[in-house]
Chains A and B, each alone.
Chain A
Amino acid sequence: MDNMTIIAVVSIITAGLTIALGSVGPALGEGRAVSTALSSLAQQPDASATITRTLFVGLAMIESIAIYCFVVSMILIFANPFWNHVIAGAAKVAGK
């Protein structure tokens, strides 16, 4: 397999693995956060505004880890620097 094929195969596989593994942790964490928030809401309903706001802020922070993984996999698929470099090299060779 030449360089281009290796880069393409590894990029695609890594992109898939990144988002697959990277969304397991945040999903579990968010589930635990929401369940704890629900039980504390049941215990103290009159603090619901504070609890809800804190829950949303916490969820956003947990979600950003999944967003980082998503951005990395998007970069691998759409803005892959190694792929662009190899494509430019192949175009130069073909144009010669």
Chain B
Amino acid sequence: MIVLAVGSKLITRRLSTELTRSRWQNLLEIVVTGIEKQIEDVGLQNPKKYIGFLGTLFLFVALAALGTVIPGYEPPTGSLSTTAALALCVFVAVPLFGIEEQGLWGYLATYTKPTIIMLPFNIISELSRTLALAVRLFGNMMSGAMIIAILLTITPFIFPIVMTLLGLLTGMVQAYIFSILAAVYIAAATRTRKAKPALAIKT
């Protein structure tokens, strides 16, 4: 986390809008515009509002997984506390963004759509989504680390390296999945029901 914060502070110290820029700034711009485009694809109208939260989630989980290249490194997302904390952040952020977009009553009204009978189910689905986010990330990271640890005692040298590669791949995919799911939940909470447009042509 320190590497992320210090690195981005150093790079953005001298931003330039001309045609030539340092390669670090280029890297950051690629990453930021990539994430922004993904958020927009999911269906959020104004990606600049959410990119702070979602981008941080993605970069933190991705870099936590990338660090397994360094020997002696244990991914922080391999413990249930970290992933539960991240899932709780999403759990808190979804109503925050929803209320910001639709007002308090507007957001609470979405719980009663499509009918009032769905109210307990909507609440339960909200809680279980959060739990699923935490356990999914935790299970993927922990299983990767555990498989490598077990394999190191059985067949050293080559096979654990292959499993480390697989762990890297799943780490990246899980980082992407985590942030995309958070974006989908936020999009579901902030989607305003537009009034049905009147039929244009009547012949």
A interface residues (Cβ-Cβ under 8 A, vs B): 49-50, 53, 56-57, 60, 63-64, 67-68, 70-71, 74
A-contact 0/1 string along B136-173, CB 8 Å cutoff: 10111011001000000000000000000000000001
From A49, A57, A70, contact of B139 by CB (8 A): A70
A-contact 0/1 string along B116-141, CB 8 Å cutoff: 00000000000000001001101110
B97 in contact (CB, < 8 A): no
Q: How far is the CA of A64 from the CA of B184 in the complex (A)?
A: 17
Q: How far is the CA of A57 from the CA of B140 in the complex (A)?
A: 15
From B138, B143, B173, contact of A60 by CB (8 A): B173
Give the number of residues in B that approach A within 8 Å (Cβ atoms): 18
Q: How far is the CA of A68 from the CA of B137 in the complex (A)?
A: 11
Interface residues of B in 173-203 (CB under 8 A from A): 173-174, 176-177, 180-181, 184
A-contact 0/1 string along B8-52, CB 8 Å cutoff: 000000000000000000000000000000100100000000000
Q: A53-B38, A63-B140, A70-B139 are in contact. List 7 more A-B contacts (CB 8 A).
A: A56-B177, A57-B180, A60-B174, A60-B177, A63-B136, A67-B136, A67-B139
Which A residue sits closest to B178, measured CB to CB?
A: A60
A70 near B180 with CB under 8 A, answer: no
How distant is B81 from chain A, measured CB to nearest CB, in Å?
14
From B142, B143, B173, contact of A56 by CB (8 A): B173
B140 near A67 with CB under 8 A, answer: yes
Q: Which residues of A contact B140 (CB under 8 A)?
A: 63, 67
How distant is B159 from chain A, measured CB to nearest CB, in Å?
20
Q: Which residues of B contact A50 (CB under 8 A)?
A: 41
A60 near B136 with CB under 8 A, answer: yes
Interface centre among A50, A57, A60, A64 (most CB of B within 10 A): A60
Q: How far is the CA of A70 from the CA of B180 in the complex (A)?
A: 24
Q: Given that A50-B41, A53-B41, A57-B181 are contacting pairs, would A64 and B176 also be in contact in the complex, using a CB cutoff of 8 Å?
A: no
Q: Which residues of A contact B174 (CB under 8 A)?
A: 60
Q: How far is the CA of A60 from the CA of B139 in the complex (A)?
A: 12
A64 near B136 with CB under 8 A, answer: yes
Q: How far is the CA of A70 from the CA of B142 in the complex (A)?
A: 10
Which A residue sits closest to B176, measured CB to CB?
A: A56
